[in-house]
A and B are shown apart, each in its own frame.
Chain A
């Protein structure tokens, strides 16, 4: 697979506001890449720089190996699906979709044929003569997608395209978009703040945080091996512990926390006496009525919540931190208010290098230990 978009060392600064910082990103041909991050982290700005509506303050952007920073939006082989749809209100659906072909001076007969075919593909057959104001939100969304796809762009940029739709329609459109992308084999760069959407649709996810890509990996890699504390907490539910590595033996690290010692499988790039963060998914957490080897946490059972087939247990540590533990329903459980010992299989926890602003909490734990 060839590289279709290459972003190298891109910064975008508005006044004193560094919106995108030292961005490096390579997108492969035919890939579905998602930019995931909370609102205001610079996703739209990144997309707009690729489309040509904003200029990078520094750095280069290449599409198909060619630098595009100096090219106008209408000279780039890239199309955008806008969050607000941005349909032309004074044109029929047919003319909306035909717009790109008309600008390229494609012959009339061919335009007609291709537009009608595209309308079939996105299930809008029969709507040619309507105006955008006469369509529902979901239908407008399809028009916006069809209008962009008909130009056969090398890359399609989608800025939270499903953000305005209700949950049911959103789920349906997620599958449809994925199907279209596979069928037409077009590279998608997709922006969303919805982690579930990102996990279900993407080949790879770039998790953005304050203008920086924290991690770029496949959905399962992101979920199972988060590289930063932000990624761990932003994607899925998790339990976080800050502490210090006080012993490493046979590839297993003992971490001293404020509330006691725990054990985690230790990757090679972690050193003795390093401050580290542990992330354990609720479904990987366990608890027992007796103390487990290598784990010194003692907690009190606070509450049980039934969520369909699983049971969510909330236990509380002496310092007031709550832990979430998922159990299959129907198992025997300690009573609410009773003491329990949380633990996990050492390979089920993820060790994350600590970022400076959490070191204070880690230091705390050392003094107590």
Chain B
């Protein structure tokens, strides 16, 4: 192969481009420097990880983010899955319109969605805080769950459910034995997407957070004076947790036997 060298170089550049920023965060979380903007290397330390435990406002923001992400993922996944199944199974007037409307929360600028949510919450007098954050996150996560589940449904043969009924399972049993397991990869993918979107949402959250700061909002606030190394430390922990999660699910879920419909 003549241009093998070129390929290796090209590939390296792409990967450096992708991973250099991430590695800067990881490296800086172990950087002993104490002077702003915390960039020059002053030796290895674990101080920032220790400090992190004392930075109660950052930890609180992080726990807020996790609570919001988990609750809104569960809600959006349940609503989105049922919605996708309902819209797949039943034919009704105006179905095309409702299908099309689903794309709107996805394509409109987040800032518009943020403003409109804020207007609604103000008008119906819901105090801004955890509740409004969760409602907002559920709102923008639902379409993504529906899209994911619907993609799975498009190759789905209705007679599989009929076969289950035919073999003596009632409708509830059929849902849990057949419908749900077959849709599981789509539901899981949708939930993962919703979780990710919720964790790092800034713009919409900014409009509705009230006193409940989320982790991204807290970080945004603190970067005005350079990213403080304890933020780097928490980001590194999140990064490692994410990598672990991906490795585990890749191993158990995606590598399973071919089970196409």
Inter-chain contacts of A82 with B (CB < 8 A): 159, 162-163
Taken together as a complex, chains A and B put the C-alpha atoms of A87 and B182 apart, in Å, by: 12
Whether B165 lies near A74 (C-beta < 8 A) is yes
Taken together as a complex, chains A and B put the C-alpha atoms of A148 and B164 apart, in Å, by: 11
Taken together as a complex, chains A and B put the C-alpha atoms of A103 and B164 apart, in Å, by: 9
Whether B260 lies near A90 (C-beta < 8 A) is no
Whether A86 lies near B168 (C-beta < 8 A) is no
Taken together as a complex, chains A and B put the C-alpha atoms of A110 and B169 apart, in Å, by: 19
Chain B, residues 168-180, CB within 8 Å of chain A (1/0): the string is 1110010001100
Identify the closest chain A residue to B158 (Cβ): A86
Chain A, residues 47-82, CB within 8 Å of chain B (1/0): the string is 000011100000000000000000011100011101
Q: Does B257 contact A (CB under 8 A)?
A: yes
Taken together as a complex, chains A and B put the C-alpha atoms of A74 and B178 apart, in Å, by: 15
Q: Does B157 contact A (CB under 8 A)?
A: yes
Inter-chain contacts of B178 with A (CB < 8 A): 88
Q: Which of B191-230 contact A (CB under 8 A)?
A: none
Taken together as a complex, chains A and B put the C-alpha atoms of A115 and B157 apart, in Å, by: 25
Inter-chain contacts of B258 with A (CB < 8 A): 131, 133-134
Whether B167 lies near A147 (C-beta < 8 A) is yes
Q: Does B181 contact A (CB under 8 A)?
A: yes
Given known contacts A82-B159, A86-B157, A89-B182, A131 and B257 CB-to-CB distance under 8 angstroms: yes
Inter-chain contacts of A147 with B (CB < 8 A): 163, 167
Q: Does A357 contact B (CB under 8 A)?
A: no
Number of residues of chain B lying within 8 A (CB) of chain A: 22
Given known contacts A80-B163, A84-B159, A99-B164, A89 and B259 CB-to-CB distance under 8 angstroms: yes
Inter-chain contacts of A137 with B (CB < 8 A): none
Interface residues on A, range: 20 to 34
Given known contacts A73-B166, A103-B169, A88 and B160 CB-to-CB distance under 8 angstroms: yes
Whether B160 lies near A74 (C-beta < 8 A) is no
Given known contacts A131-B258, A134-B258, A73 and B182 CB-to-CB distance under 8 angstroms: no
Q: Does B261 contact A (CB under 8 A)?
A: yes
Taken together as a complex, chains A and B put the C-alpha atoms of A87 and B226 apart, in Å, by: 59
Main secondary structure of the interface of B (DSSP, over half): helix
Q: Does A100 contact B (CB under 8 A)?
A: yes
Report A51 CB to chain B, min CB distance, Å: 6
Whether B168 lies near A104 (C-beta < 8 A) is yes
Identify the closest chain B residue to A98 (Cβ): B167
Q: Does A24 contact B (CB under 8 A)?
A: no
Taken together as a complex, chains A and B put the C-alpha atoms of A82 and B159 apart, in Å, by: 7
Identify the closest chain B residue to A103 (Cβ): B168
Q: Does A45 contact B (CB under 8 A)?
A: no
Whether A74 lies near B162 (C-beta < 8 A) is no
Identify the closest chain A residue to B173 (Cβ): A103
Inter-chain contacts of A84 with B (CB < 8 A): 157, 159
Whether B163 lies near A74 (C-beta < 8 A) is no
Taken together as a complex, chains A and B put the C-alpha atoms of A74 and B159 apart, in Å, by: 14
Whether B259 lies near A133 (C-beta < 8 A) is yes
Whether B182 lies near A80 (C-beta < 8 A) is no
Identify the closest chain B residue to A53 (Cβ): B162
Q: Does A139 contact B (CB under 8 A)?
A: no
Taken together as a complex, chains A and B put the C-alpha atoms of A134 and B163 apart, in Å, by: 20
Whether A86 lies near B159 (C-beta < 8 A) is yes
Inter-chain contacts of A89 with B (CB < 8 A): 160, 182, 259-261
Report B178 CB to chain A, min CB distance, Å: 6
Report A172 CB to chain B, min CB distance, Å: 24
Q: Does A151 contact B (CB under 8 A)?
A: yes
Inter-chain contacts of B173 with A (CB < 8 A): 103
Taken together as a complex, chains A and B put the C-alpha atoms of A140 and B168 apart, in Å, by: 21
**Most chain A beta-carbon neighbours within 10 Å: one of B157, B165, B181:** B165
Report B189 CB to chain A, min CB distance, Å: 16
Inter-chain contacts of A104 with B (CB < 8 A): 168
Inter-chain contacts of A100 with B (CB < 8 A): 167-168
Within 8 Å by CB of A79, from B167, B169, B170, B181, lies B167
Given known contacts A86-B157, A131-B257, A74 and B182 CB-to-CB distance under 8 angstroms: no
Taken together as a complex, chains A and B put the C-alpha atoms of A78 and B182 apart, in Å, by: 25
Taken together as a complex, chains A and B put the C-alpha atoms of A99 and B166 apart, in Å, by: 11
Whether A73 lies near B259 (C-beta < 8 A) is no
Given known contacts A72-B170, A103-B168, A103-B173, A86 and B163 CB-to-CB distance under 8 angstroms: yes
Q: Which of B37-94 contact A (CB under 8 A)?
A: none
- Rank and list the top 6 A-B pairs by shortest CB-CB distance, nearest first: A103-B168, A100-B167, A86-B159, A86-B163, A73-B165, A89-B261
In the assembled complex, 9 residue pairs joining A and B whose CB atoms fall closer than 8 Å, in A order, are A51-B166, A73-B166, A78-B166, A80-B162, A86-B163, A99-B164, A99-B167, A103-B168, A103-B169
Taking A74-B165, A134-B257 as known contacts, 18 extra A-B pairs with beta carbons closer than 8 A to each other, sorted by chain A number, are A52-B165, A73-B162, A74-B167, A86-B159, A86-B163, A87-B160, A88-B160, A88-B178, A89-B261, A99-B164, A99-B167, A100-B167, A100-B168, A103-B169, A131-B257, A131-B258, A133-B258, A148-B166
